Amino acid sequence: MIKFLNKIFSSKNSEKVEDIAKPTELQISITSLLIRAASIDDDFAILEEKKIEELVKKYFNIDDDDMLNILQEAKVRESNAVDLYSFTKVIKENLNQEERKIIIEMMWEIVAVDKNFDPYENNLVWRTAELIGISTRDRMNLKSKVIKNL
């Protein structure tokens, strides 16, 4: 009888756990940086949050439920972070140079949503690019690319 009950409860619980994917450190780190880019000018607009969702869902090929989990965790991590290093370290360890450029481009896309390049936003992208090994030339080329696509 006990074995039967254990089997029922364990199978139901395991199905629920499998359905909800736990966000990876890379997903959280990238999303946290995008949240920081959106909020550093003290104006975290709905348009910026929607753009973050769009970019992260596309980059990781995830659904709305997974995106919600990542976004919730990333908001907590970003609000508790004292610097960028915890996020940039994960990115640098897990992505190659070309993939890191995509992250910088994503940050520029968030910054550009309101069509206002705030000095704090520019500085954040610059510092992030430096920490993940993206050259000034590449960073500025990515900014130009995003501006052209506005």
Of 9 and 51, the structure prediction assigns the larger pLDDT to 51
Asked if residues 95 and 103 have their Cβ atoms less than 8 Å apart, the reply is yes
Residue percentage of the chain with pLDDT more than 70: 86
Task: State the residue range of the domain holding 47.
Answer: 24-148
Give the SS3 label for residue 42. coil
Residue 10 maps to a domain: no
Residue 128 maps to a domain: yes
Mean pLDDT over all residues of the chain? 90
Residue 9 maps to a domain: no
Residue 144 maps to a domain: yes
Residue 13 maps to a domain: no
Query: Alpha helices of 20-135 — where are they, by DSSP H?
Result: 25-39, 46-60, 64-80, 85-94, 97-112, 119-131
Mean of pLDDT values over 84-109:
98
Asked if pLDDT for residue 5 goes beyond 90, the answer is: no
Question: What pLDDT is attached to residue 17?
Answer: 42
Asked if pLDDT for residue 16 goes beyond 60, the answer is: no
| Residue 137's CATH number | 1.10.3680.10
**What is the reported pTM?**
0.85
Task: Give the alpha-carbon dihedral of 120, 125, 127, 129, to 10 degrees.
Answer: -170
Residue 106 maps to a domain: yes
Question: What pLDDT is attached to residue 57?
Answer: 98
Question: What pLDDT is attached to residue 7?
Answer: 46
Of 67 and 115, the structure prediction assigns the larger pLDDT to 67
Q: Which among 127, 34, 24, 21 has a CA at the least distance from the CA of 75? A: 34
Enter the tokens of residue 14. 């395991």
Residue 15 maps to a domain: no
Question: What pLDDT is attached to residue 20?
Answer: 58
In angstroms, rounded to a whole number, what is the distance separating the alpha carbons of residues 73 and 27? 10
Residue 16 maps to a domain: no
Please count the structural domains in the chain.
Answer: 1
Q: Residues 6 or more apart from 78 whose CB is under 8 A from it? A: 32, 33, 35, 36, 39
Asked if pLDDT for residue 136 goes beyond 80, the answer is: yes
